[in-house]
Chain A
Amino acid sequence: MQPRILELRTKILKKNDELAREMREGFGRSGVYVANFVSGPGAGKTELLTRTLSLLNQTHRTAAVVGDLATENDARRLSASGSPVRQILTGTMCHLEAEMVRGAIDGWDVGALDFLFVENVGNLVCPSSWDLGEDLRVLLFSVTEGEDKPLKYPTLINTADVVVISKIDLADAVDFDLALALRNVREVRPGIDVFQVSAKTGEGLEGWVGYLERQLAKKRDLGNDTEELQPIDGLQKSDTITEHDFSTV
């Protein structure tokens, strides 16, 4: 019998995209601002996030979920901020997917939060293609990684909304050329906002946290204009998360 051609024209990650969109709508209705931290291993995501949570907690309600292949160390560190934290153990998976995040926040009253942070698995390639329903994708490069990281990993930077150069207290010690790094960022992603911080000394954190607060205010302003959107029950449903057991508390 003749082979048949079936035209599909389907996005390969359609399932994840649809779930992420559903989650984003849910986050929008809840008025919670969601940021997804991505970087290579050891760029300082956990430390920056811990400091960010501590600063925001003075005036806001925050929570975090963190992905890791094998350990719960990051969740323990983040807990020091006082925020509710849940660990997602991905096993061998090199990135977080929307379903894992939805499973991890299941049971949380997301509507009571101002900020929800997602710390992705440390990887500069794989998280690129997975939308987690976030408002902001934050890409960290640390000064110890060198100035050419943006050129080496253009895929991830092209899906990011903001770049944070971390560990700037070490810049002199490692002869970090900031101007070159900024030029490299600009070459592969013209126009993206760049912050320079040290989670250790606190340098730059005020500006960073202020930026997040402004993003939240912007989102809520926009949200008020679109309150008549049809409600879709996204966050409460847990019909598909039983397929995987990624979330541990």
Chain B
Amino acid sequence: MHELSIAQALIEIASEAAARDGARRVLRLAARIGVLSGIVKESLFFCFELAAEGTLCEGAALDVEDVQVTVMCPQCNAARELPAANRFRLVCPACGGETPKILHGQELELASIEVEPRSRDLPDNEIIKDGKSYATANT
């Protein structure tokens, strides 16, 4: 049920970034979601579509990249990705030891958005990062 809150937060961040950029609308959102985050993707897609209505994200595509679980194994002193079938059991796939420390798999991140520019005020080769704009290449 909390997928609605996640969808609303996604839409808010994307819409704010798009508005800051002077964009006409958001075409696509690329999210990275850890498989340990407890998000049901189908539910997130459903909520997203509903919550996006009337916002700059209306009609936008939502891409979700699953981030697998990576743990730190103190025995091997190495980061290990857990196999998908066993992703909840925090046991090192190499040595079988307990791995309490989770490095990845709990992410809830909006990586990037694709927007339709409103005007030619900003050059097409520019990207916005952390609220600042950077040119990707010389025109």
Contact = CB atoms under 8 A, between A and B. Distances in A.
Q: Are both chains from one complex?
A: yes
B55 interface: no
A128 B38 contact: yes
A11 interface: yes
A9 B126 CA distance: 16
A156 B21 CA distance: 37
A159 B14 CA distance: 27
B88 A129 contact: no
Interface string A1-25: 1111111111111111000000000
B41 interface: no
Contact of B115 (A3, A126, A188): A3
Interface residues of B, number: 46
A190 interface: yes
B87 to A, nearest CB: 8
A9 B127 contact: no
Contacts of A192: 100
A41 to B, nearest CB: 13
A175 interface: no
A1 B88 contact: no
A189 B114 contact: no
Which of B5, B112, B130 has the largest number of chain A CB atoms within 10 A?
Answer: B5
A33 B77 CA distance: 34
Interface in A127-171: 128-129, 151, 154-156, 158-159
A94 interface: yes
Interface string B99-126: 1101000101111111111001010101
B111 A8 contact: yes
Contacts of A187: 89-91
A94 B39 CA distance: 13
Contacts of B122: 4
The 9 closest A-B pairs by CB, nearest first: A155-B38, A190-B98, A126-B2, A154-B88, A94-B1, A12-B108, A190-B100, A6-B128, A191-B100
Given A9-B110, A14-B9, 20 more contacts: A1-B116, A3-B28, A3-B117, A5-B112, A5-B127, A6-B21, A6-B127, A7-B127, A12-B9, A16-B9, A95-B2, A95-B5, A126-B1, A128-B37, A154-B36, A155-B37, A158-B36, A159-B106, A189-B100, A192-B100
Interface of B: 1-2, 5-6, 9-10, 12-14, 17-18, 21, 23, 27-28, 31, 36-38, 88-91, 98-100, 102, 106, 108-117, 120, 122, 124, 126-130
11 contacts: A3-B114, A3-B117, A6-B21, A7-B128, A12-B108, A13-B6, A95-B5, A154-B88, A187-B90, A187-B91, A190-B98
